[in-house]
């Protein structure tokens, strides 16, 4: 296994020795943030210590930049709409947020920040915040709900577009190398994830909820963009897992979109892929069974796409509780014995701890008190659905709401404290069934959801060994008592014993990771919209965050 893995990495390194080699992706330098998660583990933990509890109060703004989404002055590429640039394309673009919020986690390599927004990619001087280049993709449409970020290898960058293309750019100039279609935007697919480079593979996922369509994860060649393998999120007739669907028609249109960037264990050579909801979304009459491999964490061999194991977080989900939250990898003791672990705070309100060598469950425990969609847990740790919380003619009161107890923004794990940190939400909704038994539906038809507010949003510290909440911090904001409370933005821990998070309060906040005590905060133009990163440049440590369409950098003054 190790010899095969080393051979794959050596082959990838031979492709391009410049820029960002595979060795620096495998072992990131402290003066870089080379992947979406910072490293392969998904811990969002930095070894940097210059910013610490004694001096974090001295953090000041170093620079900020507002990212323009105009094509004026940009390097323009792509296939383009069917009407002239600047006019409405044949298939309208769906703009999910008018400000163009930055949801991407930036990359920082060799003093340059690389960041994406829907249809746009940027290179920014990490010292001054000045734009180096801007690339603009001529879209054919699609849901512009956000872009999670980019991948880099050698001298090349990769990012996905809302109309379902994977694009490769020259890192130095922003010039397009190639673009390849992932899926068909006319089938209501849209692409938001940050790709991931593993060996000589570019791992690419996609999203899409509007139609009953198949979902897949694919691996593409770093040089050419050609497909190496595809893994479908639902089985085909005769394959393992087909017994959890009633027929071929339902499983081949069953969804399970893998729209979160996976994590990866180089020692085991396993890729950990979280998958989305089954289709139809809210009414499960036509898909009796557990509906594998939707709502699951799946371990794949990155060289072949073959599955090693799975764990299902929400069997037969009918609440849109995508299990696409980051699978966080760490090595730590359980019952006094060292284990290779995987943890997820899932959208359905449950914290799961697994042995990542085989997918066996160690802990399943709710991390929000309001969660009421389950009756308990099976022997394998998967939840037992509560049928009374499925859509009813007279309505069913459900928590969490379909925004989830957690969502796409990455959590963080601190190896010193042994705590798993997540922005959590206790929201409620009423779900009404609008069809009679036997009526056929597609996509989100057949039911109506009505958000009812909730108990608010909070930052939680979960003890990985017990699943117990060690401490929590409730975000004081009017947003938490609105019709749909949310906790936005991801979390960053550092070896300087400082943790950074935002929530819905319009601030970036530094916490003591042991206690949750606030050590420092700074107001932002709007709510934190991405996940903070940190890096060294020269002799100074920087903290970079985004709020709305503005990117901010802080350093010690």
Rounded distance, CA 108 to CA 29, Å? 11
SS (H, E, C) 24-79: HHHCCCCCCECCCCCCCCCCCEECCCCCCCCCHHHEEEEEEEECCCCCCCCEEECC
- Give the 3-state secondary structure of residue 397: strand
Label residue 301 exposed, middle or buried (CB < 10 Å: 0-12, 13-18, 19+): middle
Rounded distance, CA 341 to CA 362, Å? 9
Helices (H), 215-261: 248-252
* CA nearest neighbour of 487 among 532, 534, 551, 426: 426
Residue range 2-78+106-556, CATH number: 2.140.10.10
- Give the 3-state secondary structure of residue 225: coil
Give the strand pairing for 156-160 and 151-153: antiparallel
Helices (H), 382-508: none
Determine the pLDDT at residue 2: 41
Rounded distance, CA 66 to CA 551, Å? 6
Spell out the per-residue pLDDT of the chain, length 557, in tens: 444 443 443 343 333 446 899 999 999 998 999 999 999 999 999 999 999 999 999 999 999 999 987 787 888 887 754 333 333 333 334 444 445 789 999 999 999 999 999 999 999 999 999 999 999 999 999 989 999 999 999 999 999 999 999 999 999 999 999 999 999 999 889 999 999 999 999 999 998 766 788 999 999 999 999 999 999 999 999 999 999 999 999 999 999 999 999 999 999 999 999 999 999 999 999 999 999 999 999 999 999 999 999 999 999 999 999 999 999 999 999 999 999 999 999 999 999 999 999 999 999 999 999 999 999 999 999 999 999 999 999 999 999 998 999 999 999 999 999 999 999 999 999 999 999 988 888 888 899 999 888 888 999 999 999 999 999 999 886 444 455 556 679 999 999 999 999 877 789 999 999 999 999 999 999 999 999 999 999 999 999 999 999 999 999 98
pTM (whole model) above 0.85? yes
* CA nearest neighbour of 361 among 346, 345, 332, 341: 341
- Report the length, in residues, of the chain: 557
445 C-beta neighbours (distance < 10 Å), count: 16
Rounded distance, CA 504 to CA 476, Å? 8
Give the strand pairing for 93-94 and 142-143: parallel
Burial 497-528 (b: 16+ CB within 10 A, else e): bbbbbbbbbbbbbbbbbbebeebbbeebebbb
Give the strand pairing for 216-221 and 201-204: antiparallel
Side-chain-facing half-sphere of 230: CA atoms under 13 Å: 12
C-alpha angle 179/185/187, rounded to 5°? 140
Side-chain-facing half-sphere of 165: CA atoms under 13 Å: 20
Rounded distance, CA 538 to CA 34, Å? 17
338 C-beta neighbours (distance < 10 Å), count: 9
Helices (H), 107-259: 248-252
Say if CB 229 and CB 248 are below 8 A apart. no
Sequence-distant (≥ 6) Cβ neighbours of residue 522 within 8 angstroms: 59, 61, 507, 508, 554
Which two three-digit tokens encode residue 72?
A: 């004026």
Alpha-carbon torsion 67, 511, 423, 453, what sign? negative
Determine the pLDDT at residue 95: 43
The residue ranges of every structural domain in the chain are 2-78+106-556
Determine the pLDDT at residue 474: 92
């Amino acid at each position: 296994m190790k010899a095969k893995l080393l051979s794959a990495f050596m082959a990838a390194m031979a492709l391009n020795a410049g820029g960002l080699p595979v060795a620096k992706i495998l072992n990131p330098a402290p003066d870089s943030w080379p992947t979406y998660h910072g490293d392969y583990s998904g811990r969002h933990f930095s070894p940097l210590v210059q910013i610490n509890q004694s001096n974090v109060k001295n953090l000041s703004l170093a620079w900020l930049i507002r990212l323009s989404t105009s094509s004026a002055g940009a390097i323009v590429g792509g296939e383009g709409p069917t009407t002239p640039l600047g006019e409405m394309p044949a298939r309208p673009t769906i703009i999910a947020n008018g400000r163009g919020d930055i949801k991407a986690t930036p990359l920082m390599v060799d003093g340059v920040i690389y960041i994406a927004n829907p249809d746009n990619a940027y290179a920014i001087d990490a010292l001054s915040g000045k734009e180096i280049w801007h690339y603009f993709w001529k879209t054919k449409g699609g849901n512009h709900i956000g872009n999670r970020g980019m991948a880099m290898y050698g001298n090349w960058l990769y990012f996905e577009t809302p109309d379902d293309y994977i694009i490769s750019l020259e890192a130095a100039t922003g010039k397009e190398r190639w673009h390849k279609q992932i899926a068909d935007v006319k089938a209501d697919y849209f692409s938001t994830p940050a790709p991931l480079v593993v060996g000589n593979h570019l791992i690419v996922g996609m999203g899409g909820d509007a139609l009953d369509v198949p979902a897949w994860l694919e691996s593409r060649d770093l040089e050419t963009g050609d497909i190496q393998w595809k893994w479908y999120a639902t089985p085909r007739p005769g394959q393992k897992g087909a017994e959890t669907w009633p027929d071929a028609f339902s499983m081949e249109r069953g969804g399970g979109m893998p729209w979160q960037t996976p994590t990866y264990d180089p020692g085991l050579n396993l890729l950990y892929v979280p998958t989305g909801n089954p289709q139809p979304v809210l009414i499960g009459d036509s898909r009796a069974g557990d509906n594998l491999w939707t709502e699951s964490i799946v371990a794949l061999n990155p060289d072949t796409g073959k599955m090693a194991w799975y764990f299902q977080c929400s069997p037969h989900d009918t609440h849109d509780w995508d299990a696409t939250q980051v699978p966080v990898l760490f090595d730590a003791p359980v019952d006094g014995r060292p284990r290779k672990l995987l943890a997820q705070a899932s959208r359905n309100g449950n914290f799961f701890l697994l042995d990542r060598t085989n997918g066996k469950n160690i802990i399943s425990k709710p991390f929000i008190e309001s969660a009421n969609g389950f009756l308990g847990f099976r022997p394998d740790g998967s939840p037992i659905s509560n049928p009374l919380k499925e859509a009813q003619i007279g309505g069913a009161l459900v928590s969490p709401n379909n925004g989830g107890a957690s969502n796409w923004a990455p959590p963080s794990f601190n190896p010193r404290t042994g705590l798993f940190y997540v922005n959590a939400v206790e929201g409620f909704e009423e779900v009404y069934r609008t069809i009679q038994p036997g009526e056929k539906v597609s996509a989100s038809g057949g039911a109506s959801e009505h958000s009812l507010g909730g108990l608010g949003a909070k930052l939680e510290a979960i003890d990985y060994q017990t699943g117990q909440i060690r401490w929590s911090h409730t975000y004081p904001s009017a947003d938490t008592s609105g019709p749909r409370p949310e906790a936005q933005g991801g979390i960053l821990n550092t070896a300087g014993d400082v943790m950074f998070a935002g929530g819905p309060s319009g601030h970036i906040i530094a916490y003591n990771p042991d206690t949750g005590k606030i050590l420092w905060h700074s107001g932002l133009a709007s709510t934190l919209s991405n996940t903070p990163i940190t890096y060294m440049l020269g002799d100074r440590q920087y903290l970079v965050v985004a709020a709305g369409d503005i990117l901010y950098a802080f350093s010690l003054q």
